A and B are shown apart, each in its own frame.
Chain A
Amino acid sequence: MGKEIKIKINGQEYLGQEGETILQVARKNSIKIPTLCEHSDLEPKASCRLCLVAIEGRRGFFTSCSTIIEEGMNISTDSEEISNLRKTNLELLFAQHVERCDSCVRGFNCHLFKLAKEIGIDLKRYEDRKLGYPRYRFGPSICFDASKCIDCRNCVEMCEKQGVGFLDLESHKSFIEVIPSKNPQRDCVYCGQCALHCPTGALTEIDSVADVEAELQNKDKYVVFQIAPSTRTTLGEEFGMPYGTNVLGKIFAGLRKIGAAKVFDVSVAADVTTIEEAGELIERITQKKTLPMFTSCCPAWVKYVEFYAPEFIPNLTTVRSPQMILGGLSKTYFAKKDKIDPAKIVVVSIMPCTAKKYEITLKKFDVDGLPPIDYVLTTRELARLFKKHKIDFVNLESEEGDTPWDEPTGAGVIYGASGGVTESAIRTAVYKLSGGKKLEQIEFKNLRGMERTKEVILDLGEVKLKVAIVNGLGNAKKLLEVVRADPTRYDYIEVMACYGGCIGGGGQPLPTTEEIRKLRAQGLYNIDDVKNTRVADESPIMEKLYKEFLTNEEIRHKICHTHYSQKQKEN
């Protein structure tokens, strides 16, 4: 706790902490100051100039996002002059940005557009400078429409922070602009953090909503939806619900309303991932195979390894991600059970993630000649799909999911938070090592939280497990340096590309801030807290699955395991 500082804003006295900005104090006290380029994940840029305020006794105007409070400051957040400056600035922003609000995926839920309405400007005062600017696609995941870019450079900064640096600045006809890097040593890993920090519709996921709607219209197709662990505590935000609310039941209901034949829970397959992965970890440790073992359910992390650090390919667990496992199970085990032609099944995976759109295109995952998953819709796309179909989401009656993939354990649900995969694996490891006894300790709270890099030594009786948990690719990059220097430092490392894990994923609702991520993650742990079964191995679904279907090496390999390879630059 720093020193307390007294300031005045618009005539009222407020207390702030030493080192806080004017904007931070204003926000804490519900004083509205318009911003655009500001994001709490990033250093203040002061580029958009919308957050200008006046300070008594000082000439000129000051950006509140970057001005640190001082004792006795007397601040005015509005005046005729400030208002005129904001208006002109915003008009200039719309002068470069090409408005296509009716077809833009941000729709009218766009930060830039909302500001225009609040501040009240002439959108068409000047002719659009960026008319004709290019549209880029990064894999099947991200669309960058340069005509909508307002040059805030949040994406460049975020991509750098991710240790990827794929978004670059280049001079073009006297304007220095954002472009995809031409550097052969840089490639996009599809994490979508650029889209998550973009204040306009310039960077978004590549939209699959229309494709999925076409499948739903097709009477020959059997459309099955599967929902990611973290989407259940984030989708509600798109409908004004409190952060962290568990809306899975409403999601199931809404999907059935728009024509889903079945609705499944990917968290069930997370239980499979846990069992397989814990098994592989124990095998690598006892048989002295390659360590440390890295998680692989994050496709942006896997892409990062395959392009930027291929020497670590042998360290990636061979276990598939939960979504890929469930898709495969649906087109085999489930199809057979319910007597449906697998070729007619369309699997749509609802994910918090833009990289998942890439993961599903990899041929190596094909099961009996079919891709396990046909489409990925991000959390944001699902919200758009529901809104398009006028689903009154908030007032839906919660419904149960469909068997056989309806009841995950708590361990499967917490996959969506950083530390969740590890905690699930540890619960199973302890269970296995104790010969299947009921665990005394279910929760491993030292694995949880928003801290970007966590190092934990777990005393599991006969085994001491050295674990690292990291979220944010830039932090993973640093951790790889540590591993290079000392390969024995860790046994198991969980890497999530996005801050906080999947709850902070590139496909999640905007805005996403640290505060919001915490609440989303807490929502998942709350679900786990009240589950009857919290260890994957204790799941009756798992018991049945392994007894009836995943009965031998070969089938387990086909459905649950994969391999990796060094990748060339694709973008």
Chain B
Amino acid sequence: MNDIIEKLKQSNLTGRGGAGFPTGLKWESVAKAEGSKKYVICNASEGEPNVFKDGFILENYMEEVIKGMVLAMETIGASEAYLYLNPDYFEKYKEKLENLITGKNIKLFKKPHYYIAGEETVICNLIEGKKMEPRQRPPFISASGLFGCPTLMNNVETFYYAYKISQGEYNGTRFYSINGEVKNKGVYELPENLTIKEVLTQTNNVPDFDFFMQVGGGAVGEILLGDELDKQAKGAASITIYNKQSTDPYNLMENWANFFLEGNCDKCVPCREGIYRLKQLILQKNFKKQELETLFNTLEKASFCALGRGAATPFRGLVNKVLPD
């Protein structure tokens, strides 16, 4: 048991769902948590737009993902696990999965079609039959998660790599999702310490036009300009290229706003009403930056959960870096 946790720590593997928490530490804390009943949950929501690497991993490395889950169950002492899939993956893969999970105490669970339903405490609530709302943290789910029990939740890619690490086959890579106006859209497994420039170069995707990018996710990912290519692709490691000439920034912002409005839980005021007001201002086009800044600030500082906190990120980037003054 300690063996794999040591290996995870030494590998410096971090969570691949977007938050990047050190995996070894997470497995260790759940393994040590008090409680006779524990759960493992694989988060296959992939609700972030422009991120499609989990679908790729399920398509090509499904067995390894399951083996990673079983490894986690043995390590932390969990007798039950859930594989939580967004509706598309659920329909596409349930038959194949059902064959792989027989006799392993792993259940499949179909996520409802909401962005917020990919958040870890919301997942626990939904599996318990409760409202689709996030929970206050602390307590963290490693101490009190599904049914109040210590719960280990990791992304598809994280379980994949955890298994690879146990087999001594991990080479410090991660899966990048590249899309937008690019020549070679797709999922690429490359070293995780590459700069964005290196990733684009190695995949033959460097744009030859004036562009900006959204990196780390198509909803809460940050906006970077062409002269910021020396950074690493954080979050869920997606890179989406936008052509400055042909992209209407207001249309893009409206799409983001609609995505959040459709996908949030409507529990807290900053997110429910703040993003709605953001959308109204964007539709008007003739807004004062100070008005936006007030809403951004409220979202970042006063939201209940990470969805609200992250929602302002792309808008702020686009308004400050791309929109003419």
Contact across chains for B131 and A49 when beta carbons are under 8 A apart: no
A290 within 8 A of B: no
Contact between A126 and B277 (Cβ–Cβ < 8 Å)?
A: yes
The answer, yes or no, to whether B104 is at the interface (CB within 8 Å) is: no
Min CB–CB distance A81 → chain B (angstroms): 7
B301 contacts A85, CB within 8 Å? yes
> Which residues does chain A contribute within 8 Å of B107, judged by CB atoms?
none
Q: What B residues does A89 contact at CB under 8 A? A: 269-270, 298, 302
Chain B: which residue is nearest A129 at the CB level?
B276
Which residue of chain B lies nearest to A68 when distances are taken between CB atoms in the complex? Answer: B138
Residue of B whose beta carbon sits closest to that of A94: B273
CB neighbours of B258 from chain A (8 A): 174
In the complex, A26→B53 CA distance in Å? 48
Complex CA gap A253/B269 in Å reads 46
Q: Mark A25-61, 1 if CB is under 8 A from B, else 0.
A: 0000000000000000000111111001000000011
Residues on the B chain within 8 Å of A126, using CB: 277, 280
Could you tell me if B266 and A95 are in contact, using CB atoms closer than 8 angstroms?
no
Per the CB 8 Å criterion, the residue count for chain A at the interface is 30
8 Å CB contact of B269 from A44, A48, A81, A176: A48
**Chain B residues near A175 (CB, 8 Å)?**
261, 266, 272
CB contact between A176 and one of B136, B266, B276, B304 (< 8 Å): that residue: B266
Query: Quick one: which of A135-166 are within 8 Å of B by CB?
Result: 150-151, 153
| A61: chain B residues within 8 A (beta carbon) | 301-302
Q: In the bound complex, do residue A92 and residue B298 qualify as a contact, i.e. CB atoms below 8 Å apart?
A: yes
Taking a contact as CB atoms under 8 Å apart, the answer to whether B302 and A151 are in contact is: no
Within 8 Å CB of A45, what residues of B? 267
Cβ-defined partner of A47 (8 Å) among B267, B277, B298: B267
Kindly provide the distance from the CB of B240 to the nearest chain A CB, expressed in whole angstroms.
23
CB contacts (< 8 Å) of A150 on chain B: these are 269
**Contact partners of B276 in chain A: CB under 8 A:** 129
- Please tell me if the beta carbons of A85 and B297 are within 8 angstroms of each other in the complex: yes
Indicate whether B262 reaches chain A with its CB closer than 8 angstroms: yes
With A and B bound together, what is the CA distance between A60 and B269 in angstroms?
Answer: 17
Chain B 183-197: CB-based contact to A (< 8 A → 1; otherwise 0) = 000000000000000
B25 interface hit (Cβ, 8 Å): no
Count contacts on B: residues with CB < 8 A to the other chain: 26
B269 contacts A92, C-beta separation under 8 Å: yes
Known: A174-B261, A176-B266. A129 touches B273 (CB 8 A): yes
Chain A residue at smallest Cβ distance from B268: A47
Instruction: Provide the B279-297 mask, 1 if CB < 8 A to any CB of A, else 0.
Output: 0100000000000001101
> How many Å lie between the Cα of A174 and that of B277 in the bound state?
14
Residues of A within 8 A of B224 (CB): none
Contact: A49 with B269, CB < 8 Å?
A: yes
Contact, CB under 8 Å: B295 / A88: yes
Q: Does A93 contact B (CB under 8 A)?
A: yes
Q: Which residues of A contact B274 (CB under 8 A)?
A: 88, 92
- Inside 8 A of A47's CB, which chain B residues have their CB? 267-269, 304
Cα distance A153–B267 in the bound complex, in angstroms? 8
Query: B44 at the A/B interface (Cβ < 8 Å)?
Result: no
A residues 55-88 touching B (CB-CB < 8 Å):
60-61, 66, 81, 84-85, 88
**Are B277 and A95 touching (Cβ within 8 A)?**
yes
Per-residue contact bits, chain A 263-279, to B (CB 8 Å; 1 contact, 0 not): 00000000000000000
Q: Are B272 and A52 in contact (CB under 8 A)?
A: no
18 additional contacts, CB 8 Å, given A129-B276, A176-B265, A176-B266? A47-B267, A47-B269, A66-B136, A81-B301, A85-B297, A85-B301, A88-B274, A88-B297, A89-B298, A92-B270, A95-B273, A127-B280, A150-B269, A151-B267, A174-B262, A175-B261, A175-B266, A175-B272
25 CB contacts below 8 A, A to B, read A44-B136, A46-B136, A47-B267, A47-B269, A49-B268, A49-B269, A49-B270, A49-B303, A61-B301, A61-B302, A84-B294, A88-B294, A88-B295, A88-B297, A88-B298, A88-B302, A89-B298, A89-B302, A92-B273, A92-B298, A96-B273, A129-B273, A151-B266, A151-B267, A174-B261
Residues of A near any B CB (own CB < 8 A): 44-49, 52, 60-61, 66, 81, 84-85, 88-89, 92-93, 95-96, 126-127, 129, 150-151, 153, 169, 174-177
The 3 closest A-B pairs by CB, nearest first: A92-B273, A176-B266, A174-B261
